[in-house]
Amino acid sequence: PRWIWFITGPTACGKTTVAKGLAQALGFKFVEGDDYHPPHNREKLSRNEPLTDQDRAAWLDALSKLESSQPDTDDATHDGSSNLVITCSALKKPYRDILRRGGGAHHSQEAGGNLQAGRRDMRVRFVLLDVDEDVLRQRARERHGHFVGEGLVASQVRTLERPAGDGDHDHDSEEGDVLVVEVGKGIGVEDTVAEVERRVKGEMGL
């Protein structure tokens, strides 16, 4: 199968670091989702203005198109380049649903409404990094050179919709494709990367 993993969660939860570590461990291609924000979104975020659903729509659609434009597994090289690890906050279930479609509504319509029809054996999965708000604030204060600051932590935490059965990966639940990884105070980045790698490999049967 072809795998696409989205590393998700609020700002400063460690998405990029975890995604890079996971991509390296699996030999997958790493994609920084923030690079696909349109200029308008980046300007708002740099002013600590929360994005609206309309703002996020163009961004999520860009990621969906990126996802669907990758080569099919049969055409991929053996280095795993058709498999992706993508960072994306994906704070709400509707946002995750867009990414599940792997190309937006126009693709799912062509496929007769099946979220993954036409995508040959493509498996889209999510990792939600669940980090304490105080830790998020501290990390946002300490990082340098990022266009999203501490001022957006609270709004993103409020916006976050955890999957049903928070913390339990249940394949029978509505969002059974989301792995929730709790990152408590004092847990280092290396430990988080190792735990995500362990959980992801378990999901993939490695």
Residue 146: CATH number of its domain:
3.40.50.300
Q: Which pLDDT band, with edges at 50, 70 and 90, does 186 fall under?
A: confident
- Rounded to two decimals, the pTM is 0.83
Residue 159 structure tokens: 């916006």
Q: Which pLDDT band, with edges at 50, 70 and 90, does 76 fall under?
A: very low
pLDDT at 61: 92
Cβ(68)–Cβ(82) under 8 Å?
no
Nearest to 184 by CA among 128, 126, 132, 122: 132
Residue 94 reports pLDDT greater than 90: yes
Alpha carbon separation from 79 to 50, 70, 84, 120, 206 (Å, rounded):
38, 14, 12, 19, 16
Q: How far apart are CA 26 and CA 84, in angstroms?
A: 10
pLDDT at 145: 57
- Residue range 34-48: mean pLDDT, rounded: 91
Residue type, position 204, single letter: M
- Residue range 38-49: mean pLDDT, rounded: 90
Nearest to 154 by CA among 182, 133, 131, 128: 133
Domain that holds residue 88: 2-204
pLDDT at 171: 53
How many domains would you assign to the chain? 1
Average pLDDT, the chain: 82
Residue 147 reports pLDDT greater than 80: no
Give the residue, 3 or 104, on which the prediction is more confident. Answer: 3
Q: Which pLDDT band, with edges at 50, 70 and 90, does 148 fall under?
A: low
- Residue 148 DSSP class: S
Residue type, position 112, single letter: G
